[in-house]
Amino acid sequence: MTQASSKPGSVSIGRYDDLRQKERVVLDIDGTSVGVYFIGDEIRAWHNTCPHSGGPVCQGKTVPRTLQGVEEGTGKSLGLTLDHSRRMIVCPWHGFEFDLLTGIHAIDERTRLRPVPVALVDGDVVLTLG
Ligand code: FES
């Protein structure tokens, strides 16, 4: 995320120091639903419309990335493990999972959340809607 000056179509959603206490806020801005996520020092904003069938993806829970280990040679399952270095947003309609930081689907990188540009402006979190 970058520091930026105000642009046409931009809207402040509040102070960064207050908002970062939450992992997520979902807002309606002039009829556009947006999910804004705070993870470490990173901020991401995604349109709250799932690329699968239009579900409210940003209202889904966030979970660590789940991995299925497979034994080389035999293909035998080694069970599930969790990758706590990555957070996934789980769409509440059909369970598609998207990387919280990149918006990319867990296994199909062509399927992605639609980003909303976000910046810090004088300590405010500012979204730019086109
Ligand atoms: S609408 Fe999101 S997974 Fe189907």
Domains of the chain by range and CATH?
2-128 (2.102.10.10)
- Judging by DSSP bridges, how do beta strands 118-121 and 10-15 pair with one another? unpaired
63: tokens are 């979970």
Residue 14: CB atoms within 10 A of its CB come to 14
Residue 34: CB atoms within 10 A of its CB come to 23
Does any ligand 1 atom lie closer than 6 A to the CB of residue 96?
Answer: yes
Mutate to test the pocket of ligand 1, among 49, 53, 90, 97 (most ligand atoms within 8 A of CB): 53
Residue 130: its pLDDT value, please?
78
Closest by CA position to 115, among listed 13, 47, 42: 47
Does any ligand 1 atom lie closer than 6 A to the CB of residue 58?
Answer: no
Residue 6: its pLDDT value, please?
57
pTM of the model: 0.88
**Inter-residue contact 123 to 17 (CB < 8 Å):** yes
Residue 1: its pLDDT value, please?
45
| First CA to last CA distance, the chain | 18
Ligand 1 centre and the CA of 95: distance in Å? 6
Closest-lying ligand 1 atom to the alpha carbon of residue 55 = 1
Taking the chain (130 residues) in runs of 10, the rounded mean pLDDT of each run is: 59 96 94 96 97 98 92 92 93 98 96 97 94
